Amino acid sequence: MYKTRYNIGDIMKLLVMALSTNQIYLIIGGSIAALIILILVIYLLIKTKGKKKQAGFEFGEQVLESLGGAENITSLKLSQRRIIAEVSDTEKLIPKKMRELKLGAIITRNQVKILVKDNPREVYKYIQQNRKGVK
């Protein structure tokens, strides 16, 4: 039985003969365009991830203010998208600010349950870190 061995040069010659030059340019151009789009998507994903964290800190600061500051919070829990805070003084709460932030808040005695739609973990961590600084 006769075996034929092809080297890379022979394969490339066969490929060039099989495809016209216009098709080769289209394949090369399409590959370059796909690579550029992939790099752009990765760049945008990295950039927006950084902005989300930064927005979480700003939002967390505003939520903390609406709860009357870090000194007013005695305990804090996270339950799915709800932050449950025990506060020492309900007079320090700012319900108007909670409405501006579009937080669904339920205030009962000294407990405040807040529904945080975007980044609840980030907001919880931010408030928890600021509480540690107070104690």
Stretch 59-75: mean pLDDT, rounded?
Answer: 89
Number of domains in the chain: 1
The confidence score (pLDDT) of residue 134 equals 57
AA identity, residue 28: I
Most confident of 7-11, 40-44, 47-51, 59-63: 40-44
Q: What would the two tokens of residue 106 be?
A: 């339920």
CB 69 within 8 A of CB 105: no
Question: What is the reported pLDDT for 85?
Answer: 92
User: By C-alpha distance, which of 34, 29, 35, 60 is closest to 126?
Assistant: 60
Report the 3 state secondary structure along the chain: CCCCCCCHHHHHHHHHHHCCHHHHHHHHHHHHHHHHHHHHHHHHHHHHHHHHHHHHHHHHHHHHHHCCCHHHEEEEEEECCEEEEEECCHHHCCHHHHHHCCCEEEEECCEEEEECCCCHHHHHHHHHHHHHHHC
| Whether residue 65 has pLDDT greater than 80 | yes
Per-residue pLDDT reduced to its tens digit, 115-134: 988 788 888 888 888 887 65
**Structural domain range at position 34:** 1-135
What pLDDT is attached to residue 121? 87
Q: Which tens digits make up the pLDDT trace of 70-82? A: 899 999 999 988 9
Place of tokens 């979480």: 56
pLDDT beyond 60 at 1: no
- Look at residue 24 in the predicted model and tell me its pLDDT: 74
CATH number at residue 102: 3.30.1360.60
101-128: average pLDDT: 88
